[in-house]
């Protein structure tokens, strides 16, 4: 199993717009081989730096399945409108990928 996460620092005041982008997107993840589940996670607010931390969390059967998604037309279509929303980010998303330690 493979878990892929992107962390987003969303400027305070843009949280509702950010969540709306994810809730209203035309996702085709379920069509992809090896896709298991998706969650959008809302983390803590950092008042000092002015952002709320979010993470997209996907579970895949394997890292190969995830990599195939990133090279697919479905991936390109899902990211086609990035940067055209009202959401204000602090920096670029930070990717983290994890292989599950079986039996632990």
Query: pLDDT at position 62, please?
Result: 97
| Stronger pLDDT, 82 or 50, i.e. the higher one | 50
Using the predicted structure, report yes or no on whether residue 20 has a pLDDT greater than 70: yes
Q: Over the range 5-41, which residues count as b (16 or more CB within 10 Å of their CB) and which as e?
A: bebbbbbeebbeebeebeeeeeeebeebebbeeeeee
Angle at Cα 29 formed by Cα 55 and Cα 23, nearest 5°?
55
| Stronger pLDDT, 52 or 84, i.e. the higher one | 52
Using the predicted structure, report yes or no on whether residue 3 has a pLDDT greater than 70: yes
Using the predicted structure, report yes or no on whether residue 73 has a pLDDT greater than 90: no
Query: pLDDT tens digits, residue range 40-72?
Result: 999 999 999 999 999 999 999 999 999 999 999
In this prediction, residue 87 has a pLDDT band, given cuts at 50, 70 and 90, of confident
In the chain, the domains with their CATH numbers are 2-99 (3.30.70.100)
Q: Give the mean model confidence (pLDDT) for residues 1-21.
A: 95
Query: pLDDT at position 25, please?
Result: 79
3-state secondary structure of 60: strand
């Amino acid at each position: 199993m493979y878990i892929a996460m992107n962390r987003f620092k969303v400027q305070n005041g843009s949280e509702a717009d950010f969540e709306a982008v994810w809730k209203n997107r035309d996702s085709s993840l379920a069509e992809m081989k090896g896709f298991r589940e998706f969650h959008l996670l809302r983390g803590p607010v950092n008042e000092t730096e002015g952002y709320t931390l979010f993470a997209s969390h996907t579970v895949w059967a394997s890292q190969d399945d995830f990599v195939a998604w990133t090279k697919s037309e479905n991936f390109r279509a899902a990211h086609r409108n990035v940067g055209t929303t009202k959401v204000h980010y602090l920096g670029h998303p930070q990717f983290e990928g994890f292989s599950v330690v079986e039996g632990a």
